Amino acid sequence: MKNKRTSLVHLIYFSRLTISNEPALRAKQIGDITRQAQKKNEFAVITSFLIIDQNFAIQVVEGERQSVNETFQRIAADSRHRDVQIVEWREIAKREFVSSFTTVSRTPTNDPHFAKSGLLPMLQRGTPKGSAIHGLAVTLQAESMAKQGIDHLFV
């Protein structure tokens, strides 16, 4: 029996952010990115999870093949990103992320998850692993949902 091909994919990429290091301006810039991306992702029926660690952006983007491709092209052309690299692109059976756009930055509260993933040295070398990024995103989403009293996904 042949596997059925799906048009649902996920893409994982990383980039270097070209945003301010000054905390108030940086927060405003990240808020702008979040608002703009959420609107565009909702229109394109994209779900995504953006992780920010220092000046690195790491994101899992899910949706129909064409929408994910168009979204990635827009990200790659965005002046707030440089050195944009695809880590993983593959077909998926179902979505794993629930929001059109979620942003999580490394903080003292979630630092143990970031440290356990070991991503920062990989990002600095330009060699992050898709499995490490995906695992961190799933963990951070689960933690966020648990704080909201949600114990499982209906995706």
pLDDT tens per residue across span 14-52: 999 999 999 999 999 999 999 999 999 999 999 999 999
The whole model's pTM is what? 0.89
| 68, 40 Cβ separation under 8 angstroms | no
Q: How far is CA 82 from CA 17, 62, 76, in A?
A: 6, 21, 8
Q: How far is CA 138 from CA 6, 113, 132, 144, in A?
A: 22, 11, 10, 10
57-84: average pLDDT: 95
What does the alpha-carbon distance between residue 14 and residue 99 come to, in Å, rounded to a whole number? 19
